[in-house]
Amino acid sequence: MSEQAAGATRSPRRGMCAAVLALEGIVVALSTPVMVVVSGVSLGTALAVGLGVAAACLVLAGMLRSEAAYVAGWVVQVAAIGIGVVVPMMFLLGTVFALLWGTAFFLGRRIEQDRAAAYAAYEARDSGDPA
């Protein structure tokens, strides 16, 4: 397989991490009304925190071509867990999403490495064959 064709494949890490961030963004956004109604947080603070973290999730989901976005994704996981200070259920939900993020990140990276090794082995075998 040519180098161009190998580079054209989709990144499993990026796809899985983007899915986790998108779903997490929805959950964090839905925690905003809970902050206002149940926890008594002011509307402005709830909107800034809840929708800010949700927007960060959605923006990062689209920026995952950059390695810096993955680092920022880890920061968002900490922020989502931190919302648990105001909405205690977010301790659980934030932890679940952090575990999903970690699984998607490390499993996706391993799949990418295995795929690259398979492509390299195929290229080596193909280029060594005098047919």
Q: What is the pLDDT of residues 6-63, one digit of tens each?
A: 455 789 999 999 999 999 999 999 999 999 999 888 999 999 999 999 999 999 999 9
Nearest of 31, 83, 25 to residue 59 by alpha carbon? 25
pTM reported for the whole predicted model = 0.84
Residue pair 34/49 in contact (Cβ under 8 Å)? The answer is no
| Mean pLDDT for the stretch of residues 82-97 | 94
Model pLDDT, residue 125: 86
Which residue is associated with the tokens 């900490």?
Answer: 78
Tokens describing residue 111: 């799949």
Instruction: Provide the sign of the torsion angle of the four alpha carbons 94, 17, 71, 63, taken in this order.
Output: negative
Residue pair 27/66 in contact (Cβ under 8 Å)? The answer is no
Question: How many C-beta atoms surround the C-beta of residue 22 within 10 A?
Answer: 14
Model pLDDT, residue 1: 42
Confidence of residue 85 (pLDDT cuts 50, 70, 90): very high
- Is the pLDDT confidence value at 2 over 50? no
One-letter identity of residue 4: Q
